[in-house]
Structure 1
Amino acid sequence: MEKGIESIFKPYLEPKEVYKGGKNIPASTKKIYKLSSNENPLGQSPKATEALIKAAQNIALYPDQTDIRLREALVLDFDHKLAADQFITGNSGSEIIDMILRAFINEGDEVIFSNPCFLPYSVFSRWYGAKQIDVRLKDFDYSLDVEGILNAITERTKIIFLTGPNNPTGTYIPKAVLEDFLARIPKNILVVYDEVYRQFADAEDYVTALPYVMQGYNIVGLNSFSKTYGLAGQRIGYCYTTAKIANYIRQIHKPFLLPITSIEAAIGALNDKEFIANTVKTVQDGKIFLADAFASLGIKYWPTQANFFIIDPPLPEMEFTDFLMAQGVMVRPVSQFGAPGKVRISIGDQEANEALVQALVKIKTR
């Protein structure tokens, strides 16, 4: 009997869970505060906007064949602590995750991650036939289960995803914990350290991947321009690692990968130090304001190092989300991220934060 096209489908690509981004603001005459996607509360960098508009005059032409100009701008941003060949850029942090998995994972290899976490770690690894090992964060405080991960490592383990600050919990990995972990894992495992929200972290013992890359560890620092820089709509991200690892991954970096508008907007954003400082201050001020409000209203929340909170809502998650939406505030349930019953709320500007608190008061007093 003649076989159908299904006979060459990869079995691990059968319809399963897919990553779904946050919803867009619906068409409405009512003011809607979008606190569901962790976007920049101040919008985008004016310097990025200016650079993008200028670049738009040349969109009939092909962009840079390589990303070297952006990588050189990142060298400056990192105070020359890394060389240009240690950076890799792509169309969002998510694409960098995909690129890393494509470079290292073969069918049957193992990938370790810790739910609740960013869904692409698991969804994208399935595309390449990886066996997925979920060593959940500890339930009571969402801290990393170091011993659980170490015990889960086998000869097939290729990649371990770590995150700090973590989406959707806002928690982080203390420096001493990360250093102990890196010292104990086999040398043939790659650690992908997602630090997309690093600019918002203010814990004294918070650390990025940078010092460990400089020491030669097999670690990748994953970053994005979507949060601090306000370029979510441009879909641009980057990572940094050792030259050996970066040059290996770069073999699958497509020419003309980044649109000229994205390249110029990203370079402009890196140069807008005032906007970055204002963004961080807005988030830090909002963090204090909302933490006080949650406490006074008796709403359980977890301390955050990011630009969002995860909370235990006073109503079932979907009922809570729908009620807030009716009040003009968008938030996001995070069952899909491995945190059933919880809701993630982005920190907005003061007007948005006050609208959220007013909506929460209505729940408590209705």
Structure 2
Amino acid sequence: MKSGITSIFKSYLEPKKVYEGGKNIPVSPGKKIYKLSSNENPLGQSPKATQAMIKASENVHVYPDQTDIRLRRALVKDFENQLDENQFICGNSGSEIIDMLLRAFINEGDEVIFSNPCFLPYSVFSGWYGAKQVDVPLLEPDYKLDMEGILNSITDKTKIIFLTSPNNPTGTYIPKVEVDEFLSRIPDTILVVFDEVYRHFTDAPDYTSALPYVKNGQNVIGINSFSKTYGLAGQRIGYGYTTETIATYLRQIHKPFLLPLTSIEGAIGALEDKVFIEETVKTVNQGREYLAQEFDRLGISYWPTQANFFLIDPPIPEFEFTERIMELGIMVRPVSQFGAPGKVRITIGDNEANQALVKALEIIKPQS
């Protein structure tokens, strides 16, 4: 029986699974370790972002912008004026935008639909607000969206549906024709969250972002991050774009002085650095092609990807594989926690890192 302060604890905040982010590189003097576990930018960070943050650091003794308006205006320019500044909402990472949505739309007992394997915060964060979590798993073996399964799971308590394209950790995407059909069958009382933080790396001709649906006035929000393409994972900054009605509603819970000054300036600088963005995408796409060829040569099972990482079926048990390849200087991510037991996610690195990965796999594979 609860007593004292515990008697007013929310029952749905009882101890449960939590999201554990990727680990940092351990200290190993004299040993080169390639971190291919957190989907970070293989080239580092945008030089223009670095310059902007260094300049901003001279003024961190004063409060930052009270709102995100300057960054929103920079995003309007980045989106080639296809959206208005009032259609954007910014926060401390894409994850915080997800949290903001849940705070704004979810009451205890409401339902949230997601499809494992997927980004764990969808379930963890929704649990913070007492949501009923409805998992409609992706269809194996290709990890495709179970459209009919989701539609059949919708009730009058469904408030949010999470779609991710490309999906983390599978790297799979939802073709535009399927998104079109899916959204045409969703009640207008539901918000569809389109997590597209890896969109810059896609080259499939039938890929779509959330943009056409937002422009069409549908209840969709596109979630983006500056952690991947722009190399600002350490600055924790992200944004969403949606209809003006939804964005204006969300701004009611947007805290003043929310974004650090260095994050604001770094993000604005990163948006302007088109050369760095192009080089990042080129590096990832070339690495993606190279690793796919090497996986084929080595007989490593993997899923075709539209992101900056691969999901593989390792030749030995996942945790044994993770430990063994770490001994060879490569950090990778087991993704049982994401709903893909037995699988491992590997970030695409630069040429040196990718070649080191292949050499490590050549050592491990014969032992399978």
Distance 1:234 1:128 in 2: 26
One-letter code aligned to 1:20: E
Report how far residue 2 of structure 1 moved.
9.7
SS in 2 for 1:18: coil
Q: Which residue does the alignment assign to 1:249?
A: 250
Q: Which residue does the alignment assign to 2:105?
A: 104
Report how far residue 224 of structure 1 moved.
0.2
Q: Which residue does the alignment assign to 1:20?
A: 20
1:183-198 matches, within 5 Å, as 183-198=184-199
Distance 1:268 1:28 in 2: 34
Report how far residue 283 of structure 1 moved.
0.2
Distance 1:285 1:346 in 2: 13
Q: Which residue does the alignment assign to 2:237?
A: 236
Deviations 1:169-219 (A, max 9, x none): 000000000000000011100000000000001100000000000001000
SS in 2 for 1:265: helix
Distance 1:221 1:2 in 2: 42
Q: Which residue does the alignment assign to 1:274?
A: 275
One-letter code aligned to 1:19: Y
Q: Which residue does the alignment assign to 2:334?
A: 333
Distance 1:273 1:152 in 2: 42
1:112-131 matches, within 5 Å, as 112-131=113-132
Distance 1:266 1:92 in 2: 11
Deviations 1:76-130 (A, max 9, x none): 0000000001000000000000000000000000000000000000000000000
Deviations 1:57-93 (A, max 9, x none): 0000000001100000000000000000100000000
Q: Which residue does the alignment assign to 2:164?
A: 163
Q: Which residue does the alignment assign to 2:359?
A: 358
Q: Which residue does the alignment assign to 1:304?
A: 305
Distance 2:27 2:2 in 1: 50
Report how far residue 323 of structure 1 moved.
0.7
Mark the runs of 5 or more structure 1 residues left unpaired by the alignment.
none
Distance 1:365 1:182 in 2: 47
Report how far residue 364 of structure 1 moved.
2.1
Structure-2 change in CA distance of 1:60 and 1:296 (3 Å): same
Deviations 1:334-353 (A, max 9, x none): 00000000000000000000
Distance 1:240 1:3 in 2: 44
One-letter code aligned to 2:15: P
Distance 1:152 1:308 in 2: 30
SS in 2 for 1:89: strand
Q: Which residue does the alignment assign to 1:182?
A: 183
Count of residue pairs brought into register by the alignment: 366
SS in 2 for 1:192: strand
SS in 2 for 1:167: coil
Q: Which residue does the alignment assign to 2:83?
A: 82
Q: Which residue does the alignment assign to 2:318?
A: 317
Report how far residue 3 of structure 1 moved.
3.4
Report how far residue 150 of structure 1 moved.
0.2
Whether 2:349 is the aligned partner of 1:345: answer: no
Report how far residue 4 of structure 1 moved.
1.3
One-letter code aligned to 1:28: S
Whether 2:10 is the aligned partner of 1:10: answer: yes
One-letter code aligned to 1:187: D
Which structure 1 residue ranges, 4+ long, deviate > 6 Å from structure 2? none
Report how far residue 139 of structure 1 moved.
1.4
Whether 2:285 is the aligned partner of 1:284: answer: yes
Distance 1:187 1:265 in 2: 37
SS in 2 for 1:44: coil
SS in 2 for 1:309: strand
One-letter code aligned to 2:4: G
Q: Which residue does the alignment assign to 1:216?
A: 217
One-letter code aligned to 1:135: V
One-letter code aligned to 1:8: I
Distance 2:230 2:74 in 1: 14
Distance 1:3 1:13 in 2: 16
Identity of aligned residues (%): 74
Report how far residue 56 of structure 1 moved.
0.2
One-letter code aligned to 1:27: V
Distance 2:348 2:304 in 1: 13
Report how far residue 365 of structure 1 moved.
3.1
SS in 2 for 1:247: helix
Distance 1:164 1:152 in 2: 20
SS in 2 for 1:19: coil
Distance 1:19 1:95 in 2: 13
TM-score normalized by the length of structure 2:
0.99
Mark the runs of 5 or more structure 2 residues left unpaired by the alignment.
none
One-letter code aligned to 1:126: G
One-letter code aligned to 1:314: P
Distance 1:304 1:364 in 2: 22
Q: Which residue does the alignment assign to 1:47?
A: 48
SS in 2 for 1:239: strand
Q: Which residue does the alignment assign to 2:266?
A: 265
SS in 1 for 2:160: strand
SS in 1 for 2:288: helix
TM-score normalized by the length of structure 1:
0.99
Report how far residue 54 of structure 1 moved.
0.3
One-letter code aligned to 2:41: N
SS in 2 for 1:274: helix
SS in 1 for 2:325: helix
